[in-house]
Structure 1
Amino acid sequence: MKKTIGLILASVMLIVLIAGCGGKSDNGGNASPSASPSASSSASASPSASPSASASEPSAGEVVTLKFATWNDPAVEQKKIDAFMKTHPNIKIEIDKSITWPWDEKLGAAAAAGKLPDVFFVFNGPSNVANGWLADLKPYLDADPDYKPENIFGNLSETGQYNGKQYMLPHQLFMQGVLINVDLFNKENIPLPKKDWTIKDFEQIAKKLTKVSDHQFGAENILGARELFVPQFDPSLGWLTYDGTKFNFDNPAFSDTIHWINDIVYNNKTSVDLYDRKEQDKWYGKDKSAFVAGKVGMKIDANWAFADVTKNGKFKWDFLPLPGNKGQRVPLITDYIGMAANTKHPKEAFEFIKWLTYSKEGWMQRINEIEKPITTMPLLNDREVWDAYMNTTFTAPGLKDVISMIPSGFVDGYKWLPGDAEIIDKVLNPYDTKKELVSLKVKPEDVAKDIQQKAMDIFNRNKAQIDAATK
């Protein structure tokens, strides 16, 4: 299998593409970021020193201590820290336990006190950049002989750039697709879909799989999949309809996606999403997924679900790309890491960031020794690293087809796209809370222009603040 995956990935590796587009999903916590970047600079950190600045260099033999803020499992993070420190004896990493949720609120308090952690996870990139908390990593990347632009897929790394400056790098990668219950398909004598399947295929299969009297359904998690499917209706669009320069809620793909989801859930009644949680608890157990219980054939999910399905799903399963319509693109979700603009030890802080983002040594240790199961997919564009990942227990055969789509994938903008979080909170959530759009109580085509206008007003205001801080 290793040789096969290597050949498949060979066409993917060493490609640099334009930036992807992004939307709303988070695997790091449930706290909401501030709606827009603060215009105030009173709490801003001072710019960091350049890579060659001798003022920040420790004397020979001196051990430098760095503070690190992470929302991941502390036990797993400590293993990563220990592995890094073993090969970097001059650097000591301490987890900053004062930075918790709500993330940006705690970072803001630390910034105001002049105590930002040297390295920290970034939940709201635009706000952090506008407030002056993040250092530009580009000078360090340019000075590092190990770094090449193709080290990290271009459509991922470019989401951390503003006006040509690299303020954060992706350090965790998740991709969304469709979990398939292979045994259920076989039981119902339904052929497994191929990688280039369509939304019509999905709809027809869901009907064949559904047996309401047996509490068996074709689909799960389709109600919340709007942002994932818009680019399948129009591949020029990304998450939340963003096309790289503007939002496009008035594009027919937005309305078409909502109507398609409405058909599956409310008209065809082939998704378990039609039933509230209380009813599902009676059928499958409290807070248990119908898919994991073996009663759903197709679930919209991400690779972070692999460990749970492997452990608790008593059936054979696989993972396929989302079905397409006028195109077929994979949704990507990235978590970011950055360096404090006022760190006293930028070189050492950058070494730690490098180990977590594009160091081959770092990724091989994480995959083979530290994170079992490793929930993130590798970000390093290296065939050996990807082969190691695919040889772990918590993967699926069809994943190779989804991996090949990474360079053309579109990236969730919640953590990096100016105004994205505010658009979701103030423009879309009022409709989504009462399910007015997806139930067609309010027709998307009737409100699309209004949503578009409000979204662009928010985007332009946030982008102006980013431009003022970075140009």
Structure 2
Amino acid sequence: MKRYSRVFLMMFLLLFSISIFAKATITVSVWSWNVDRYKKLIAEFNKYYPDIEVKLVVNEPEVNSFLTARASAKQVLPDVIAESWEPLSYPVSQGWVYPLDEFLKDDPYIKYVPNSVRNAFKYNGKTYALGERLHFECIVLNLDLLKKLNLQVPKYEEWTVDLFKNYARRATTREYSGINQLWEFDTFMAAVLSDHTTFWSFDPEKWEFDLVKGGWIPAIKLQKELKSIPGLVSDDMINQEARNKGELDDYQKKFGKDADAFRESKVLMGFEATYDWSWLRTVPWNFDYYPLPYDQKIGQRFPVHVNYTFVTSTTKYPKEAFLFARFLTYDPRGVVARLKLFESEGEEKGRLIDWFIPATMHPDVINYFEKMKIPNGIKYMLKNLDKTVRVDMWKVVPGWVEVIWDIIFPVNEKIRAGATQPEAVAAETQEKANKVIKESWTIFQKKLAEAEKKFPQIRKQIEGK
């Protein structure tokens, strides 16, 4: 009997030791093109958290359809969705997202995340996602052409609307143009020329459009002013109908039959974004990114897009899943590790091939970012991340797409064509848009309430309580 007792005791101790030192295993969904990058990031993560095993899942073709397919097939959802830029309102309404506030409460790193990012993915006061990377809407300034035109390199903090207009006019000559294009310039400037509205003049505090008193009207006026100056907007001179007839349009007459004026350094500025880097880095001239120009009465406001990461509600290990999500998004150790991974992919002509804008102002991140071979204007905007204004509202506002394309966009087109004035249609358009937004929000709220109600039950089942 003593022999069997000893054997039983040894087996018990063995099983007990295994249970103590067993790793928590979490799954993380990523895009197929990022698998190798994430394998390296996981190795960095395990330097700090060796007891957490991370396995990768590919979430093709897109995040929301991937989750839908998994849920429909009654398959387990990944514990972490590493990166998405699709509407978060959908998975939240389905009850697939784990609110993270319990982990954020006393977190030492969260204070370095600016409010524009920290509050970007909240519903009913709960945080459903973390900002993973940022993209700025910007003005790309051709520094070589600036010098040729005898214009001084402006300081970022002095880049006002008046200075921007002055440079655009002075660069518009028989040979050059001030800016390449202004498509949607007014919609983004609506977030700059107001102290309370964002993209398309939406007020995120009141959850409604403010076309009457927000940035919509002044932004439209600014765009119309710029477009009224002949030759200032290079792409406005393109006439495809004339080209189809074999005729030269004004663009070709000015720049050449087969010209690409922007690439050939014949346009001073480009209305572009940081997500355009893959082709912008190939231009043969020196340039810098500048914020969109600001109104001195309002101050600087940088329109920013926020891609995000979230933890799923069905995870068996919510704390461990959060730690990886944090490492990916705003833990300075993880963010710097990610920056190094991008940096290791090399450079061309003194410019990094790829990089990303972090969602944190932690000193360690800013100090490392400062040394990277990317435009100085991006470094300036990261150091002033607290001046950002969120513009990718389609990710969080139910009904956004329908309102923009069915109600506001057609009105904008009439204004651009000169068929009406913004002041004449602002109130009526605003009323129509807000009616749909409120209806969509009511529907979403019902789904959200149901998801919030089911969440404790889901967690009890998963935790075996």
TM-score, length-normalised on structure 1? 0.76
Whose Rg is larger? 2
**What is the CA-CA distance between 1:104 and the residue it aligns to?**
2.4
| Alignment of 1:437 onto 2:412 | no
**Cα distance per residue 1:415-469 (max 9 Å; x no partner):** 123433332233234456xx43333334333332232122212322233344431
Q: Which residue of 2 aligns with 1:37?
A: none
Q: Which residue of 2 aligns with 1:329?
A: 301
Q: Does the aligned pair in 2 maintain the 1:230–1:253 contact within 8 Å?
A: yes
Q: Which residue of 2 aligns with 1:407?
A: 386
**Cα distance per residue 1:364-408 (max 9 Å; x no partner):** 111224454453212222112111112101132x44543344213
Q: Distance in 1 between matches of 2:33 and 2:432?
A: 34
Look up the equivalent residue of 2:127 and give its one-letter code: Q
Secondary structure (helix, strand or coil) at the match of 1:231 reads coil
Q: Which residue of 1 aligns with 2:315?
A: 343
Q: Distance in 2 between matches of 1:58 and 1:265?
A: 69
Equivalent pairs: percent with the same residue? Answer: 22
Look up the equivalent residue of 1:133 and give its one-letter code: W
Look up the equivalent residue of 1:263 and give its one-letter code: E
Q: Does the aligned pair in 2 maintain the 1:207–1:268 contact within 8 Å?
A: no
Secondary structure (helix, strand or coil) at the match of 2:289 reads strand
Q: Distance in 1 between matches of 2:320 and 2:256?
A: 50
Q: Which residue of 2 aligns with 1:39?
A: none
Among candidates 128, 131, 139, match of residue 178 of structure 1 = 139
Look up the equivalent residue of 2:429 and give its one-letter code: I
Q: Distance in 2 between matches of 1:424 and 1:93?
A: 40
Look up the equivalent residue of 1:378 and give its one-letter code: P
Q: Does the aligned pair in 2 maintain the 1:168–1:337 contact within 8 Å?
A: yes
- Shifted more, 62-71 versus 361-370: the winner is 62-71
Q: Which residue of 2 aligns with 1:84?
A: 45
Look up the equivalent residue of 1:231 and give its one-letter code: A
- Choose between structure 1 and 2: higher helix proportion: 2
Look up the equivalent residue of 1:334 and give its one-letter code: V
- Shifted more, 128-137 versus 295-304: the winner is 295-304
Q: Does the aligned pair in 2 maintain the 1:172–1:376 contact within 8 Å?
A: yes
Q: Distance in 1 between matches of 2:252 and 2:45?
A: 44
Among candidates 78, 93, 97, match of residue 130 of structure 1 = 93
Q: Does the aligned pair in 1 maintain the 2:136–2:304 contact within 8 Å?
A: yes
Q: Which residue of 1 aligns with 2:439?
A: 461
| Alignment of 1:231 onto 2:191 | yes
| Alignment of 1:319 onto 2:289 | yes
Q: Distance in 2 between matches of 1:66 and 1:410?
A: 32
Look up the equivalent residue of 2:94 and give its one-letter code: N
Q: Which residue of 1 aligns with 2:64?
A: 104
Q: Distance in 1 between matches of 2:90 and 2:430?
A: 22
Q: Which residue of 2 aligns with 1:387?
A: 367
Q: Does the aligned pair in 2 maintain the 1:261–1:438 contact within 8 Å?
A: no
Secondary structure (helix, strand or coil) at the match of 2:307 reads strand
Quickly say closer, same or farther: Cα 1:403–1:380, change in 2 above 3 A. Answer: closer
**What is the CA-CA distance between 1:307 and the residue it aligns to?**
5.6
**What is the CA-CA distance between 1:284 and the residue it aligns to?**
8.8
Q: What is the RMSD computed on CA atoms of the aligned residues? A: 3.1
**Cα distance per residue 1:308-333 (max 9 Å; x no partner):** 434x2222222222222342311111
TM-score, length-normalised on structure 2? 0.77
| Alignment of 1:300 onto 2:271 | yes
Give the gaps of 5 or more residues in structure 1.
1-56
Q: Does the aligned pair in 2 maintain the 1:173–1:334 contact within 8 Å?
A: yes
Equivalent runs, 1:143-222 vs 2, <5 Å: 146-195=107-156, 196-212=158-174, 214=175, 216-222=176-182
Q: Distance in 1 between matches of 2:38 and 2:386?
A: 28
Look up the equivalent residue of 2:66 and give its one-letter code: K
Give the gaps of 5 or more residues in structure 2.
1-17, 244-250, 346-351, 453-465
**What is the CA-CA distance between 1:355 and the residue it aligns to?**
0.9
**Cα distance per residue 1:137-173 (max 9 Å; x no partner):** 112323xx54454131122111111112111110101
Paired residues, number: 405
**What is the CA-CA distance between 1:363 and the residue it aligns to?**
1.1
Q: Does the aligned pair in 2 maintain the 1:173–1:377 contact within 8 Å?
A: yes
Among candidates 258, 265, 281, match of residue 227 of structure 2 = 265
Q: Distance in 2 between matches of 1:98 and 1:190?
A: 48
Quickly say closer, same or farther: Cα 1:207–1:337, change in 2 above 3 A. Answer: same
Q: Distance in 2 between matches of 1:425 and 1:392?
A: 39
Secondary structure (helix, strand or coil) at the match of 1:344 reads coil
Quickly say closer, same or farther: Cα 1:148–1:403, change in 2 above 3 A. Answer: closer
| Alignment of 1:291 onto 2:253 | no
Q: Distance in 2 between matches of 1:160 and 1:252?
A: 22
Quickly say closer, same or farther: Cα 1:403–1:148, change in 2 above 3 A. Answer: closer
Quickly say closer, same or farther: Cα 1:431–1:97, change in 2 above 3 A. Answer: farther
Quickly say closer, same or farther: Cα 1:69–1:450, change in 2 above 3 A. Answer: farther
| Alignment of 1:447 onto 2:416 | no
